[in-house]
Amino acid sequence: MKGKRFTGTVEGWVTVIRRKLSAGELGSLPVVLVLAAIWIVFQSLNPNFLSPRNLSNLSVDIVGTGLIAVGIVFVLLLGELDLSVGSISGLAAAVFAVLNVNSGVPEWLALVVAVLAGTVAGTVQGYSFARTRVPAFVVTLAGLLTWNGLMLSILGTSGTVNLDENGLVAELTSYYFTSDAVAYAVAAVGAGLVFLVAYQDRRRRQAVGMPHRSLGSIATRTGVVAVIAFAAAYVLNRFQGLPLALLIFLMMVAGLDLLLRRTHYGRQVYALGGGVEAARRASLSVTRVQTAVLAISGTMAAIGGLFLASRITSVSQSSGSGVLLLNAIAAAVIGGTSLFGGRGTTWSAVLGMLVIQSIASGMAITDTPAAVQFMITGGVLFAAVVIDSLSRRSQEAHGRA
Amino acid sequence: MPSPPLLALRGVCKRYGVVEVLTDIELEIHAGQVVALLGDNGAGKSTLVKVIAGVAPADKGVIEWEGRPVHIRRPHDAQDLGIATVFQDLALCGNLDVVGNLFLGREIRKFGFLDEVEMERHSLQLLKRLTRGIPDLRAPVVSLSGGQRQTVAIARSLLGEPRVLLLDEPTASLGIEQTGEVLDLVDRLRERGLGVLLISHNMGDVKALADRAAVLRLGRNNGFFDVNTASQEQIISSITGATENVPRRMVPREAGW
């Protein structure tokens, strides 16, 4: 009897998975496979790749760009692109460095002002984009130049500013919770929350007699999350413990995921990505949502910029330039957020950054030249975009069938 | 004295740039009545719907709601009055699921978060009333068939308990069976006392369903008919312009040649 029920559930899953695949809802499956492949390849090339030390460093290295990529996810959901995030991240770092180091403003105040500078820059761009209806990538291209110029003028002649090695911002990426208990507690809380939310949903649906998840599927979900979380905690504890940066990153991603998927505001963002005209007819305030999205993107860029500055404890004229912008956009897209708008979650920024940083780290560890690294990352990005486009097309074809 | 119409348009004008799309339009919709809005392509039918729905507000003229003048400047104004619209292109967000589309812009919230369970329950109840083939409520709308999308669009318009429903070509993209379902649905809405404005190209639909017909031609009224007494030929000749009930604008200039 039990065996029969089990086969029944398995058959149910197979049908659901097959339906999702044929409907083009691949979700994060491809990127997880790519990540696994990358890890296997580099581990076989160099056994140090999956060492606790390397993985721990990897988990801190993804944070700065990852936070910027989370902001990019919001913009991509609208079907737009924000090219100014690199410059804004540099601007925020410069504001912080000049205020704190050169002018002696308290660290916390300088930090707040720096983040707000990003918010303001994003809001200005968002409002002009929403009002003029010039595509966001053009508005933010202008922003890219403007904010970069502003950063250079703020830094002035000094060029490079070194941050306090033991200051608040430096601690952002250098602090580790050395006690083993912290990492395990965070893992337990994470898995517990996943279980509670799913269980509560099941109970409410059951109460009103609607279809609900089986206890088994809830247990499987929670189990998968718990295994990943506890494995990560175990590995991190074998080096220096849970990095503060990683904790902040994951909390922000989870919080913004909640905002996007469980609030009125988030629903509006998705709706705008699905069709501006439809959203307008449903009397959503398009201008306000578009402005807010770019404001969030600017804010996240500023926060990411501070983490990047913290990693090298200095701010220079080259902060926020180079491949940072491209990596942030690539991370969001590789992670599974659609370039066409309306599909994706903040978690894709985490997955995408893991892929990009794993490639970078593996290349460094195996002494491969940077040129090859760029080409491989480019290849992965191309594959991600193709998958995105194909799955979108198959979804539409599925609708007509 | 009979009660005033639910919705009345008096001398409504609308221009896009230099083109006058609607000129001095008169229209009345009574409760429990289906008014068919007929006209050739480019006669201004869809524009008139947009005017009433607040998507493209009128430039001149008066719109009366139960006898008193109102201003419809935004989609919200129309919704607040109790006017719901199903646009020809349905205006659904393809990436959102059925529940998300039904409640777009008026989500049920609990402690600031969306109450998905409650919304899904309402959606199920509503759709059960409207159709037999209930689509997967959690599938993105882009993956539904044309008829299912039409049902979702109509269901969404009914969610706010409207008193007037505007339907822009609701059966244009549907097969015979689905068309029948939609027409049945409109019939039931009339019985529940809604006023319905139905745009259609299909004279069969109009004959079967409508109480009265208003014909537009080149942006002007070109006759009102009682569908039950007027002949199909009368109505069609009014649509094609064989019977001119309003002098055409071009006449004076043509006379000058």
**Residue A210 to chain B, least CA–CA distance (Å):** 7
Q: Average pLDDT of A293-316? A: 95
The beta-carbon neighbor of A275 closest among B55, B94, B116 is B94
Decide if A27 touches B, using CB distance below 8 A: no
**Residue B188 to chain A, least CA–CA distance (Å):** 25
Q: What is the pLDDT of residue B254?
A: 45
Which chain B residues are within 8 Å of A213, Cβ to Cβ?
Answer: none
Pairing of the two strands B7-16 and B113-114: unpaired
Interface of B with A (CB under 8 A): 53, 55, 74-76, 79, 85, 87, 89, 91-96, 100, 104-105, 107, 109, 112-114, 116-117, 120-121, 124, 139-140, 142-145
For tokens 């392509």, the residue is B41
Q: What is the pLDDT of residue A114?
A: 97
Q: Which residue of B has its CA nearest to A201?
A: B117
Asked if B215 contacts B235 with a C-beta cutoff of 8 angstroms, the reply is: yes
- pLDDT, tens digit, for every residue of A282-296? 888 899 999 999 999
3-state DSSP assignment of residue A250: helix
User: What stretches in chain B show pLDDT beneath 50?
Assistant: 1, 247-257
Give which of A329, A340, A336 is closest to A272, Cα–Cα.
A340
- pLDDT, tens digit, for every residue of B140-198? 888 888 778 888 888 888 888 899 999 988 887 777 877 888 888 888 888 888 899 99
Measured CA to CA in angstroms, residue A323 lies from A1, A61, A331, B28 at distances of 58, 15, 12, 63
- pLDDT, tens digit, for every residue of A349-374? 999 999 999 999 999 888 888 888 88
Is B124 in Cβ contact with A263 (below 8 Å)?
Answer: no
Pairing of the two strands A176-177 and B7-16: unpaired
- pLDDT grade for A145, boundaries at 50, 70 and 90: very high
Half-sphere exposure of B23 (CA within 13 A, CB side): 13
Asked if A114 contacts A302 with a C-beta cutoff of 8 angstroms, the reply is: yes
- pLDDT grade for A135, boundaries at 50, 70 and 90: very high
Q: What is the pLDDT of residue A400?
A: 43
Spell out a b/e string for B116-140, using b for 16 or more CB atoms within 10 Å of the CB, else e.
Answer: bbbbbbbbbebbeebbeeebebebb
- pLDDT, tens digit, for every residue of A168-221? 999 999 999 999 999 999 999 999 999 999 999 899 888 888 888 888 889 999
Q: What proportion of chain A, given as a percentage, has pLDDT over 90?
A: 66
ipTM of the complex: 0.82
Decide if A131 touches B, using CB distance below 8 A: no
Mean of pLDDT over chain A = 89
For tokens 């998300």, the residue is B100
**Residue A284 to chain B, least CA–CA distance (Å):** 6
**Residue B63 to chain A, least CA–CA distance (Å):** 20
Q: What is the pLDDT of residue B257?
A: 45
Is A270 in Cβ contact with B94 (below 8 Å)?
Answer: no
The beta-carbon neighbor of A210 closest among B85, B121, B145 is B121
Q: Average pLDDT of A80-95? A: 96
Is A205 in Cβ contact with B117 (below 8 Å)?
Answer: yes
Is A263 in Cβ contact with B113 (below 8 Å)?
Answer: yes
Residue A7 has pLDDT above 70, yes or no: no
Which chain B residues are within 8 Å of A264, Cβ to Cβ?
Answer: 107, 109, 114
- pLDDT grade for A16, boundaries at 50, 70 and 90: low
Q: Average pLDDT of A18-37? A: 74
Q: Average pLDDT of A57-62? A: 95
Q: Which residue of A has its CA nearest to B143?
A: A399
Residue A110 has pLDDT above 70, yes or no: yes
* Structural tokens at position A127: 């409002």
Distance CA B234, CA B223 (A): 10
Decide if A398 touches B, using CB distance below 8 A: yes
Asked if B38 contacts B216 with a C-beta cutoff of 8 angstroms, the reply is: yes
